[in-house]
Structures are given as structure tokens and as C-alpha cells.
Structure 1
């Protein structure tokens, strides 16, 4: 059989914008919000958190514009990106960044934050419908439950967290319940898969995503006054973090890739949860925030660098508009 090289990218700006840029941006948002929590707990100046969030907002808006241009050139390219795992993770996190943008804006302009939150809910719901169609019409292996399903289907829990900050407690409670049920289903299926078969080394970083819903459910529960649930989530998150530390060499065996972006937001969200709990929890929260402050920008820098060099799209097999 003759070898056919991949088709070259046609001329034009941002025809192959890789969705894989967004998980690291989501991690940077999480880092800035975690620093807000840390500053509130330890009474530090708020300059660092707002600098992180400001820079991340600009990066997100630029990346979102680049991906929007790609979609405008050929809207059906979205379905092609959603057929591959890095694409589903990337587009999913791009949508969730809208909720994090709402949380970023809330202290400055609550009205704008509400508008961003509602826009995020609309975009997220459209995304889920398109994803369900792609999964239903694609080959059966695409429908396999993966940690990325948390981003796609449980990500409404971030909307719940934004809603708590804006005073929409009824909305937050509904989203909390639905997200908890979906997360429980994904955890149950994932545990069964993990026991039955090994995870390929390149995909192991995605296992870190399982940590994020635990931390986010705890944060929303805290905002809704469910202290017992918050404490339970904090403890479970601690066990997962300890497991990740014990298996770190195994998780990173295949070396750096864009999928390392999966490490970023979960550790930031967990640091936020522990810091919000306060008391004895604030010290492991501070320790994890310190780790996150080192790790997340380093991963994000390498991913953005790969995007700038044109390598990220090729390595993650991003679709071409």
C-alpha cells in the first residue's frame, strides 16, 4: 500500500487552531481563583491573583477568537475535533472557561458576570447536544466512558460555583444535584474499567481529571452551607491527591504532552477547596497552592509554546478548517 502524507494546511490564519490549548488555560483560571482563596485566608495583598486572572483572561479571549475563526471558516470542523479525545477535552474546557471568566468578573461587575454565566450555559448546552450527536453517530469505541466525560457532562458544576457567587442558590442546587449524579456514574464506570484493564501510558494524565469534580462539588457544597458534604469531598480529594503522588512516575511515564494540561485545573480546584475550608485544612491548601503555582504555569508555557511553533495541532491531530 502506498504511503499518503497528510494533506497540508491550506493558507489562511488559524485554520488548524488546536483545542488542546484550552485545558492549560482552564488551569490558569483555576490558579488565579485559588490565589483569591489563599489571599482571603491569609490576608495577603490581592495583586497576584488579579494579575494571573487578568493575563489568563486575555490569553483565553485570544485563543477563543482563534478557534472561533476556525469554526467560521467551516462550522462542521467542530464535529471533526470532537471525534478525537484531545479535541473533546479541549473544546469541553474552552466552554468551561466561560464559567471561570464569569467568576473572574464577578467582583468587578456582577451584571456582566451574570450575562457571561447565562451565555456559558447556552454554549455548554449546545456543545453537549453536538457531542451527543457525534458520539451517537460515530464508531462504538468513541462512546467509551473516559475521564474527559467529566469535562463534557459534569462541567455544569462550575456553572453552579459561579451561580453561588452571584446569589443564584436555587440554580446552583439543581446543577449540583445533576452534576453529582453524572459524576458518580462516570466514577463507577471508570473504576470498573481501571480494575479490568490497564490504562495506556499516553492517556494516564487524563486520570487526574477525576479529582476535579470532587473538589468542585465540595466548593459548591460549601457555598450552599452543606458542611458535611464539603468535609467529605475534602477528605476524598486528599486520598486522590495522595494516590496521584504515589503513582506520579506511572502517571507521567510517557513524558510530556498536551494531555498534561489535565493535571492543572484539578490541583488548583483542590487547593481552593482546602483553603476555603480553613482551619487545619488551610495548610495543605497552601502547600498545594504552592505546587500549583509552580506546575500550572510551567505546563501552560510549554503548551502555548507548542501552539506558537505549530506543533500542538500536529501532535494532537487537530482538525483543519
Structure 2
């Protein structure tokens, strides 16, 4: 009888010791139901992006205030810090983030870091091509040809809002004054501006809108005639008028072709040199009869009608 009691006592003692050992070691490396952590993105678009500053913070800071916390980010990087940390992923992908507390508790969480398209246009700064002076009710052309741009926002300073969404637009001012044209695009960080003066018409009811193409054509005709009339020694007149045509009407990195009398083709520079250094100049000269263009900016072809006259 005494042996049975001794045996039962021994068994009971073993069970008690086992329970104590389990109570001590069982929580190690286990998950805690009330333990969790939150992730916040810097730009608040609810997406975790590569290169973005991400904030990882424990949900209940009071429960583990003095605990040792190890943050593992699933790519070999880790940070030992309490409560919250900041981290940037250099590459997109899926990662297992694990928070370990006092080497006893851990909370794993999978996250998906997405890639961000950071490609930009080669030249994302747009340039506005437009006249600096116009008239009320005149159809004015505004153009930008910067590569890589898909969306344009034009504000012409008269309505107080966005007026057009194309790369080339025609706008008519209703009132005279000085205006600032604003252009913003999907590829430019800052807007670009262009100042324009709008002059009144003396009789806006009966006067037809000014023909911008004819104004440009007449201006080019005047410049070409000045080059033709200037003496060979007058290089200032030659370069002044040539540079005016280049600056006002020629596109950068694109040729302007001069078609003479419908059949002779030449580039702008060669044509102007021929006008200025005409063989036998002094006894004869070239008369520019007519100039025709099909646009007012970025002109690629100019039709010239001319003939040689003797003095």
C-alpha cells in the first residue's frame, strides 16, 4: 500500500515538473495573437514601392515597451530597434517581413513591393512656339514639339482655367491686354510661360480676323528682299535678316526648304547666300514677288516666286 502511494507521488511530481518546463519553454518562438505590426508608405498611395521610405511600427507599443525587437526584411537585411523602423527596398518583389521580440515571439508578414517606372523623356522641358503680339479675334497658333509628352495643359490667361489639351492649338483672344500663356505637361515638373500682347481692333465688328499666315509670309518676304538688295559687303544686313527667319520660324535641328518658282529646291542657308552673293550684283538683282507658307511656326517649306531684274 505504501509502495503504491510512493509511486503515485513520484508520478505526480514528474507531471508537475513537466508542466513547469512547458510553461517556461513553450512560448519561445511562437506567435502571439495580440502582437502585430503596421506598414505605412511615404506617398500615401497605399502601394509599397521600390525606393520608397516605408515605416514599420508595432501595433501595441505599451505591451512591449522595453522589449528587444529584431526586424528582418526578407532580403538579408535586419534592424534591431524598438517600436518602429524606416526601410527602403531597392528592388521590387515579394518579401517575408518578420518581427522578433526578445527571441521568444515572432510575427511574420508577406508584403509585395512593386516597381516604379521612372523613365522620362529625353528632353522633358517643353518650349512654346508662338508670336509675341497679336490682335483681338485673331486666330493665334501655339505649338510645342518636345518629344515624349503625351498630355498638354494650356492656359492662355484669359479664362483663368485650362483652355486646351493638344500639342498644337489655335486660340482667339476676346479682349486686348498683356497675357501670360502657361503650359504644363505630364513630363515636366514645372510649367513654362510665354508672354503675349493682344492689340485691339479699331472696328472689331466689320474687320475680318487677321490672316496670321499672310503676316508671316510678308515678314519672310521682306527679310529675303532685304538680303537680296544688300550689297555684298553688307554682312550685317545679311546675318540680321537670316537670323530673324531662323529664330522666328525655323524649327531646331530641322531643315527649312526653299522652293523657288515651283521647281528649284534649296535649303535656307544656300538660298540666302545666293541672294546675297548674286553673280553680277550691282547691275541686276532678284525681286521677291511672293512668299507662301502653310504654318506660322516650325516652317519646313517656303514657296518663293521671284525673278531677276536689271537695274
Same fold (TM over 0.5): no
For the aligned pair, the TM-score class normalised by the smaller chain equals under 0.3
Q: Relative to total residues, which structure has the larger helix share, 1 or 2?
A: 1
> Larger C-alpha radius of gyration, 1 or 2?
2
TM-score, with structure 2 as normaliser: 0.23
TM-score, with structure 1 as normaliser: 0.22
Q: Relative to total residues, which structure has the larger strand share, 1 or 2?
A: 2
